[in-house]
Amino acid sequence: MTLTPDDWEVIRLSLKVAIVGVMLTLPIAFALAYILARGRFPGRILLDAIVHLPLVLPPVVTGWMLLILFGRSGPIGGWLDRVFGVTLMFRWTGAALAAAVMALPLMVRAMRLSIEAVDRRLEGAARSLGAGRWRAFRTITLPLSLPGVWAGLVLGFARSLGEFGATISFVSNIPGQTRTLPIAIYTALQVPGGESVVLRLALVSVVLSLGALVASEWLVRRQSGRAHVL
């Protein structure tokens, strides 16, 4: 079995969309995880609910909401278009945004658990040794919560690779721009005689997903060997 140039295009696009989507989400997810783990403020429960919304909403609804907000005449999309000349509609960048939004709740959950598991008394010890808030965060909280950051990255990457509903309703199905692996498989299923394409791309999906799982297992093991949490 050999992959055709079209298959490679789909794979390259899927990886690009997933990697950019996850990298875009990483700092936002960590900040949200930190706020939700440590913050005590009114509206925390509401923020928590909003973050989790893409996990429980039908993906098609999430995609439609992205369309409303980020479409060319939407409040955010219109602004991006006017100020930066950037449009997300029917572009791979829009697919990356959809992947990012869908990956966000999973990434926040993994990171939040890990931040909550950090013993706050260790931060107190760091402060009493002369470290300011920022240094205590950078040298104690952040390294001790890294296993959750890795787990969140892998979960988010896997979720992004599999993203279908929000992507297809937000940025449609355009070869080379928004036709990622699941959408390409779906498209091939609609075409008579597309079974061989489906088989190849399905196998690629299995290999990529397995690879992500093995990589995460390896990272977590390496991490826990070095930085055992008590």
Partner 1 sequence: MSFEVDVARRLGDAEIAVSFASEAGVIALFGPSGSGKSSILNMIAGLLTPDRGRIAVGGEILFDAKVNLPPEARHAGYVFQDGRLFPHLKVRANLLYGAAGGDATITLKEVVDLLGLGALLGRWPRTLSGGEAQRVAIGRALLSNPRFLLLDEPLASLDRARADEIMTMIERVRDALKLPILYVSHNRAEVDRLAGQVVAIHR
**Nearest Cα residue to 156 out of 105, 222, 113:** 105
Cβ pair 24, 100 in contact under 8 A = yes
**Nearest Cα residue to 163 out of 184, 191, 148:** 184
Choices 4-12, 28-36, 56-64, 135-143 (CB under 8 A): range interacting with partner 1: 135-143
Considering the rule CB under 8 A, would residue 220 count as an interface residue with partner 1?
A: no
Phi, psi of 133 (to 5 degrees): -55, -45
Near partner 1 by CB under 8 A: residue from 99, 100, 126, 197: 126
Sites for partner 1 among residues 86-125 (CB under 8 A): 121-122, 124-125
Considering the rule CB under 8 A, would residue 35 count as an interface residue with partner 1?
A: no
Quote the least distance from Cβ 133 to partner 1, whole Å.
Answer: 8
DSSP string, 152-204: HHHHHHHHHHH--HHHHHHH---TTTT--HHHHHHHHHHSTT-HHHHHHHHHH
Quote the least distance from Cβ 151 to partner 1, whole Å.
Answer: 17
* Distance from C-alpha of 46 to C-alpha of 225, rounded to nearest angstrom: 37
Considering the rule CB under 8 A, would residue 40 count as an interface residue with partner 1?
A: no
Considering the rule CB under 8 A, would residue 149 count as an interface residue with partner 1?
A: no
Nearer to partner 1, 40 or 121 (CB): 121
Quote the least distance from Cβ 152 to partner 1, whole Å.
Answer: 19
Considering the rule CB under 8 A, would residue 58 count as an interface residue with partner 1?
A: no
Choices 74-82, 128-136, 188-196, 207-215 (CB under 8 A): range interacting with partner 1: 128-136
* Distance from C-alpha of 134 to C-alpha of 25, rounded to nearest angstrom: 22
Choices 9-17, 130-138, 149-157, 214-222 (CB under 8 A): range interacting with partner 1: 130-138
| Helix/strand number for the chain, H first, E second | 12, 0
Considering the rule CB under 8 A, would residue 129 count as an interface residue with partner 1?
A: yes
Helix/strand/coil percent split, the chain, to 5: 80, 0, 20
Contacts to partner 1 by CB under 8 A: 121-122, 124-132, 139-140, 143-144, 226-230
